[in-house]
Structure 1
Amino acid sequence: MTSRGHTAGEPGAYVLGVDSGGSGLRVALGTAEADAPLRTVECGGPVRTGPRGIDAAHLLEQVLPAVHGLLAEQGTGGRIIAAAVGAAGMATLGDELRAELPGALANALGVRRLALAADAVTAYAGAVGQRPGAVVAAGTGLIALGTDLAQWRRADGWGHLLGDSGGGAWIGRAGLDAAMRAHDGRRGGSPALLARLEAVFGPPQELPGLLYPRADRPALLASFAPEVAACAEHDPVAEGVLRAAAAHIAEAAAAVCPEAKADEEAYEVALTGGLFRMGEPLLVPLREELARLLPRARAVPGSGDPLIGALRIAQALATGGLRLPHHPTLLCVPVSAPQS
C-alpha cells in the first residue's frame, strides 16, 4: 500500500500513534515493522472538551507541531503512511474528531490511512494485541472491553455518576463514605479511614465545600483510593471496599470476555491502568473473583499502554493487517489509502 510514494518498509515511511487521555496527550513515531517506537513525546495537557465534544482544533494544535518535530529529527523526506488516534471519550464525545481529523491530517501530514479509536480500544491493542480476549482499563474510571474479532463488547465506562464501578473514584468515594459514617457515628463507619481523611483533606465537615465545587471531582475522589488500600490490611471496612470493587471489576470482565470453546485455549483478561498499582490488597480479591466468574480465562498484566496500542493499530493499517473489528465509535477507519 502507498501514501504519496511511500510504502511500508521503505526508508522515510513512518506510522503515528496518538494517545489523548485525562492527564495529557502523547505522540509516538514508529515504523510499520518495529515493535518499539522510534520516539515518543508528551505534548501537553488534556485536550479540551467543548459543546461538540472533544475539541479537534485543540488536539491538532498539540499534535501537529510535535509530529513535524519528530519527522525533522528523522531527516528530510519522511512521511506518515498510517496513523491511529486514541482518545478518552472518543466513543461518546468524538463526533468532532471523526468529522474533522481525517481531512486535517490528510492535508497537514499526507495521512491516507487513519483509525480513530476509543482509549479502551487502544488499551486493548496495547495489552492484548489483535487476539480475542478482554481488557479492563482502570484508573480514575473503569471500562471493560472484549472481542472475538467479530464484534466488540463493552461494559461500564459510564462515568463516576452512572458507573465506573470498582474504579479509583468509586473506591475513593466508598472510603470517604465510610470515613464520614465514622465521623457521624453511623453504622459501617471506619475510624481508620476517618483518620486518613483528616490527614489528607482536613476537618471532615469541610470536605463538601472542597469537593463539590471542583470540576475534577472524580480525580479528587480517586486520590483517596490509595488510602483505602493502605488501610485494608488492618481495617475490615477498607478491606470490604476493595472486595466489593474486585467483584465489580470481575463482573465487568465477565460481561465482555468471549466464551472459549472446549477445544480452545483460554482467553486472556488483561488488567491495565493505574488502579492495579494498588497491588495485593486489590489484586488478591480480584483474582479470586475472576477465578469464580471466568474459570477458563487467564488474568494477565497489560503488556502495553494505550500509546503503544495506538501505534500497533497504525502499524496494522500500514501493512493491511488490522484484525480488530471496525465500529462506528469504538474503532472508526474513515479513510483508506489506495492499494498497490
Structure 2
Amino acid sequence: MPEWSAEGSNPHGDRRATRPGSPAVLAVDSGGSGLRVVLGTVQGAVLGQGESAQPVRTGTRGIDTGHFMEQLVPLVRGLLAEYGVTEVRAACVGAAGLATLGDALRAELPVALRGEFGVPSLALAADAVTAYAGALGTRPGAVVAAGTGLIAVGTDLTRWFRADGWGHLLGDCGSGAWIGRAGLEAALRAHDGRPNGSGLLLARAEEMFGPASGLPGRLYPRSDRPAVLASFAPQVAACAETDPVAGHILRSAARHMAESAAAVCPTKGAPQVAVTGGLFKMGDPLLVPLREELTRVLPHAGWVTAAGDPLNGALRIAVDLAAGTLTLPGEPVMLSVVTTKGD
C-alpha cells in the first residue's frame, strides 16, 4: 500500500513555454491565508504565479467581490503582461466559504472577470472541490483536506458529498485547531492536577503562551482563535512519541478524519482516497494512525498520494473547462460553471 503524503507533484507540471498571443487559463485559490494565482497554458503547463497575503474580506453579503477583484487584478495584469497573453480562455476560482458565503460572488464575479480580462467561461468552486481535483483529478473517491480546519469531500462523479467543515466551535474534528485545543486542555488538566493531563504539554504550552493561568485571557478575546489553537498542534505531534496523552490525541484525530472520509467515500466500485493540507506535514505521528484507521473503515478503497494542492486543482478544472472536457459534477454551491457573453 502506498505511503500517505500530504502533497505530490503538479499534474499539469510539464511547464512548457507558450508563444506570445497564445490563449491561456487562469486558476485562483482564495483562502484564509490570502489569494494565490496561476496563469497556465490551455494544456495545463504553469506559466507564472502570484499571490497576495491579504485574505479576501467577508461582509454582510458574504465574500466581498470588490475586495476579491482588488487583490486579483494587479496579480493577473502582471502575469498577462509578463507572458504576452492576450486571451484568457477559461478560469477557475476556488474559494473558502463559497458554499455558505458565496451568493454575491457567484452573481458578480463572472461579469467582473469578463469585463476586466475577457474571461468567457468561469468555474466557481468550493475550496474543498479544488482540493479534491488537485488530489484525485476526476476519479471517484474521497479527499480529507486538513489544516487549521478540516473537511472531507467525495464524489461518485454524479454528485458531491461533504462531511464536517463546520468550524472550530461546531466541528472540524481532527483538524489543527481541534488537536491544538485538545493539547491545551491536557496541559490545563496537568496544571490543575486532574486526570488525563500532560505535564509535557503543560511545559510546551507555557513556553509558547506564558503562564497557564493567563491562557484564557490571552486566547478568548482574539478573533484568530482557530489559528492560535492550531499553532499548538505541532507541539502535540512533537510529544506524541513519548507522551501517551499526546499520542492519544493524535490517534483520536486520525479516527475523526477516517470517519469523515468514510461518510463521503462512494460505497461501490474502486474509489480512491487521499489527504491534502498543511496538517499532514506532521508526518508519521499523525499519518501512521490515520493509515490504520482508514484501512479499518474503508477496506474497499485504494489509498493514493495526493497529486497536488487546491491551486493545482483549480488549474486542472480551468484546463478541462477550456477544452470542454470537465466531468466533475456541477452543484450550485460546490461547483458551478458560468459562461458570459461579450459586448
TM-score by length of 2: 0.92
Counterpart residue number, 1:79: 87
Match 1:278 to one of 269, 276, 282: 282
Residues 337 and 310 (structure 1), Cα distance of their counterparts in 2 relative to 1, 3 Å cut = farther
Counterpart residue number, 1:319: 323
State the shift of 1:300 in Å. Answer: 2.5
SS at match of 1:221: helix
Residues 65-104 of structure 1 deviation map (CA, whole Å, 9 limit, x = unaligned): 11111111122x6111100000111111111111110111
- Asked if structure 1 preserves the Cα contact closer than 8 Å seen for 2:163 and 2:263, the reply is yes
SS at match of 2:46: coil
Supply the distance in 1 between the matched residues of 2:241 and 2:315 (Cα, whole angstroms): 40
Match 2:242 to one of 234, 253, 276: 234
Extract structure 1 runs of 4+ deviating beyond 3 A.
none
Match 1:15 to one of 25, 30, 47: 25
SS at match of 1:209: helix
- Asked if structure 1 preserves the Cα contact closer than 8 Å seen for 2:250 and 2:286, the reply is yes
- Asked if structure 2 preserves the Cα contact closer than 8 Å seen for 1:133 and 1:148, the reply is yes
| Code of the aligned partner of 1:216 | D
State the shift of 1:298 in Å. Answer: 2.2
Supply the distance in 2 between the matched residues of 1:168 and 1:299 (Cα, whole angstroms): 22
| Code of the aligned partner of 1:170 | W
In the TM superposition, what are the counterparts of 1:1-340 in structure 2 within 5 Å? 11-34=21-44, 36-75=45-84, 78-261=86-269, 266-335=270-339
State the shift of 1:10 in Å. Answer: 10
SS at match of 1:38: strand
State the shift of 1:336 in Å. Answer: 5.9
SS at match of 1:149: coil
Give the superposed CA RMSD. Answer: 1.6
Supply the distance in 1 between the matched residues of 2:39 and 2:297 (Cα, whole angstroms): 39
SS at match of 2:170: coil
| Code of the aligned partner of 1:71 | L
- Asked if structure 1 preserves the Cα contact closer than 8 Å seen for 2:153 and 2:160, the reply is yes
Supply the distance in 2 between the matched residues of 1:195 and 1:43 (Cα, whole angstroms): 36
Supply the distance in 2 between the matched residues of 1:31 and 1:319 (Cα, whole angstroms): 11
State the shift of 1:333 in Å. Answer: 1.0
| Code of the aligned partner of 1:315 | V
- Asked if structure 1 preserves the Cα contact closer than 8 Å seen for 2:132 and 2:142, the reply is yes
Residues 242-279 of structure 1 deviation map (CA, whole Å, 9 limit, x = unaligned): 01000000000000111233xxxx32211000111111
TM-score by length of 1: 0.93
5+ residue gaps in structure 2? 1-18
- Asked if structure 1 preserves the Cα contact closer than 8 Å seen for 2:64 and 2:104, the reply is yes
| Code of the aligned partner of 1:61 | E
Supply the distance in 2 between the matched residues of 1:144 and 1:10 (Cα, whole angstroms): 40
